[in-house]
């Protein structure tokens, strides 16, 4: 009998080299990473897979969801992350539901996330 695998989306793969090379770490589901360097040094490329129903990936220029941010709502591969978004990514929020710009700004202002997130 074959195995049944359940694909949990959204899914984020971070790579420590451009063009999806080098060390990789994969995250699934609702999560927030306050300081990416604590667990993965500096991501240089990424692959984001969403369910097409409103998933949200938010990349921040500073730790603790501060600074400038970029929002990605659809599946996307970014081979050169800093070049594509215009800054080094230091914190990340990934949600299976759509986060509005106002919700993102509130998180940036307060540093507080809704309860549905695993926080790293």
User: What is the domain-level CATH number for residue 54?
Assistant: 2.60.20.10
**CA distances for 93 relative to 42, 89, 107, 108, angstroms:** 16, 11, 10, 11
Residues 38-60, mean pLDDT to the nearest whole number: 92
User: Could you give the CA distance from residue 8 to residue 5 in angstroms, rounded to a whole number?
Assistant: 9
Number of domains, the chain: 1
> Would 107 be classed as within a structural domain?
yes
Domain assignment present for residue 6? The answer is no
Answer for the pair 32, 93: CB distance below 8 angstroms, yes or no. Answer: yes
So what's the pLDDT on residue 8? 81
Angle CA(33)–CA(39)–CA(44) in degrees, nearest 5? 85
Provide the pLDDT confidence category of residue 2 given band limits of 50, 70 and 90: very low
2 in a domain, yes or no? no
Q: Is residue 5 part of a domain?
A: no
What's the whole-model pTM score?
Answer: 0.91
The whole-number average pLDDT for the span 73-95 is 97
Q: Which domain holds residue 105?
A: 11-119
Is residue 4 a part of any domain in this protein? no
pLDDT above 90 covers what percent of the chain?
84
């Amino acid at each position: 009998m074959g195995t049944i695998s359940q694909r949990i989306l959204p899914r984020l793969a971070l790579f420590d080299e451009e063009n999806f090379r080098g060390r990789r770490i994969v995250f699934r589901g609702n999560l927030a990473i306050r300081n990416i360097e604590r667990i993965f040094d500096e991501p240089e490329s990424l692959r984001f897979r969403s369910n097409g129903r409103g998933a949200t990936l938010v990349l921040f220029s500073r730790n603790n969801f501060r600074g400038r941010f970029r929002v990605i709502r659809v599946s996307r591969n970014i081979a050169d992350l800093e070049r594509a978004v215009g800054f080094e990514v230091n914190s990340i929020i990934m949600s299976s539901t759509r986060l509005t710009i106002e919700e993102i700004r509130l998180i940036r202002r307060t540093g507080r996330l809704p309860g549905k997130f695993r926080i790293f």
